[in-house]
Chains A and B, each alone.
Chain A
């Protein structure tokens, strides 16, 4: 039985969303890792500022990709979702713990003033940035190796503690650090911080040099533990793997040449990550769990899949322009918590408008209207009362009819 075109389409979308989360969410997690490694309060102040500034306005929107993954999975492939959630209860709970700590640390570090408190919330944020990608990696490893049973009777520890799964966990952490450092190079460059550009350029290179061998080791391990995926990765999905490797090498080259081109560098790094995620998706086809659960058996009825496709279309229509606006404003640094009122345009506006005689000119609006006259108030009251009485009578009549 071959999978329906709808199931294939939704599956493809799922992997695109996973790639997006790996990129945007991964970059935010990586920021936390570099925050953790930035050193003492004084030495690490400058990079921490940059990390914070580049993550704060966008992390929540980036986080929604994860929600989308969960929702797509449970609506379109319910048996797979249920099996993953049961068998991998432990790593999922731990990654959730990381997400909780991270969000809480994030929410509160901005308002914590005392240094100890700031360090505590900062530590929660940074530690969580390690925990979450690691356990997500083990989950991916467990699925790719086909060790998640279709009808698990409980936790399956062996599924996510295999060498491949643990290596995938480390690979995820390294990849997050890598993608984040590359993005931060551009952030620093655009803000004109030469020293920070170099700082993150060195870290991006280091992370790239760790990620590459880790990926290689995971790949080698998979030849024994995940033969199906391995064969497809070296077969039909090989071009994607090659693109990913080429992208990774190209980024290292760009960094070495110090050619910090905003679009080029980011796009190359993004391709390196997205290609390998899509390669994984292609390698799994036509299985949800390699060799045990196929797309055809594990997918929801067609109407649900079509609903997901429509939702994705709507999301593209509504969310894509929103994201474009958010990143555009963020790139132009319109979204800041600057520390003086000098550029507070709104206050400036009102300050002008508040001055007598300038109100109309400055704000371009008429002066505030006065209170309504007594007669119009009575009329409004009567109309409102009539409407209310009608509504109540209508409702009573309806309930009686039922």
Chain B
């Protein structure tokens, strides 16, 4: 019993599991935090610019989903910042001065994002249209720059730079070199594109299901086309970027790359393994393309690829099979999504209309799940592949983990809470969409907000004149115009296909 307690207290596995599951959960919501505002704003732009009621309705509904996801994302993000200290005091105590710099910069952008999320999500009713549209812009910019900063912190762990150590203590820091370490440009671009792909494909997938069920009105076609276009633009860039990054990892973290590609011994003519399980020096159930790994790394079969025998056994990552298979899954999913985007792009280029056949829509419906799988697999590759280091070749995970007892308990609590949050984060938008289908657009707000102001209050405050009137005519006849708008949206949701 005592031995067990001792193992639980010093073994980093519970802490790693907790960090991993927290990151795996948070990263999906972070994608929505980064990219969903941009998708919504495109719809809103179309809505305002072209007077397209269906696009506007989409934007309003997406922003309601965004309110839920951003709130959960803020919570899971807070969990991550706590865990940096709760689980890894050895990392933060020694290297906080370096790794903290990108986190601080992220703080600014998170602030900016949170402020304007408040304005954007709750400003639909009273702000003039273009003012409201512009209030979303800081969310997009803040999301991109914030993601850049936080991923820079992660890439610093993979490629530490910008500090001097004396007797294990940091004596000086160069914040710029910390932020722009060698891995920063690669990792940040990779993650940003991933965020746009995950968000785009997930949202498009929802409307693909709707289209498959025969709801082929403009509302559903736009709801599919806007996010799919965003993700479809990101997909080919991601494939190109992924190829470049793999070569960077091969030079910068050769042992990680060796685990990704099953390269036990440094060799020329390294084969490219597709699938396969690595047991005792053999790859079972895998297909090898001769010398292809060398070609991918250096454009020639004679390129030398460094194997994991280049470091002592204690410094090699565990679970090479997991790393390799995750890497394969990520590439497979990425190519699948790229093919899907190229298919739609080809059709659009030559026919100038959306390809909406079941053959295309069925894979599109699962494209979001594929994108999430690819991203999670990618994080498994980079995080497990860095083991046993927490800061690559500087600090071991073992030396960073907290000595405090109780991590297994918090792990259990976190897992069960995240299970609930996952169910609800998926369930709430589902319930919302069912509600939206059942009732006219004009009425939905009354039922959405149980704690919202009562009709009596709205009567006293709702008609109060506001500053910065962008549409005097609309304000003058607010109630009649509102009716006209709801009539228009109603028509848009139920009206026939007007292609």
Contacts and interface: CB of A to CB of B under 8 A. Distances in A.
Interface stretch (A47-55, A140-148, A167-175, A272-280): A47-55
Given A60-B117, A71-B100, A308-B104, A340 B455 contact: yes
A400 B300 CA distance: 10
17 contacts: A49-B453, A60-B114, A61-B117, A78-B96, A82-B85, A93-B410, A99-B79, A106-B71, A108-B68, A315-B107, A338-B462, A340-B462, A340-B482, A342-B478, A346-B47, A347-B56, A399-B299
A92 B51 contact: no
A378 B71 CA distance: 45
Contacts of A154: 9, 403-405
A58 interface: yes
B387 to A, nearest CB: 22
Given A96-B86, A351-B482, A352-B473, 10 more contacts: A61-B117, A67-B81, A96-B79, A100-B78, A155-B406, A326-B119, A334-B126, A339-B455, A359-B51, A363-B49
A402 B114 CA distance: 42
Contact of A335 (B103, B118, B404, B431): B118
B489 interface: yes
Given A63-B78, A335-B122, A362-B471, A347 B482 contact: yes
Interface of B: 9, 47-53, 56, 67-68, 70-72, 74-75, 77-79, 81-82, 84-86, 89-90, 92-98, 100-101, 103-108, 110-112, 114-119, 121-129, 132, 138, 170-175, 240, 244, 247, 251, 299, 349, 352, 402-406, 410, 413, 417, 420-421, 424, 428, 431-432, 442, 445-455, 457-458, 460-463, 466-467, 470-471, 473-475, 477-479, 481-489
Contacts of B172: 301-303
A85 interface: yes
Nearest to A121: B424
Interface of A: 48-49, 52-53, 56-58, 60-61, 63-64, 66-68, 70-72, 74-76, 78-79, 81-87, 89-90, 92-93, 96-97, 99-104, 106-113, 118, 152-155, 191-192, 300-304, 306-308, 311, 314-315, 318-319, 322-323, 325-326, 329-330, 332-355, 359, 361-363, 365, 368, 371, 381, 392, 395-396, 399-400, 402
A111 B432 contact: yes
A334 B299 CA distance: 59
Given A60-B118, A82-B92, A304-B101, A345 B128 contact: yes
Nearest to B251: A402
B450 A86 contact: no
A300 B474 contact: no
Contacts of B481: 347-349, 351-352
Interface of B, secondary structure class, is: helix
Contact of A304 (B138, B173, B471): B173
B100 A75 contact: yes
A303 B174 contact: yes
Contacts of A399: 244, 247, 299
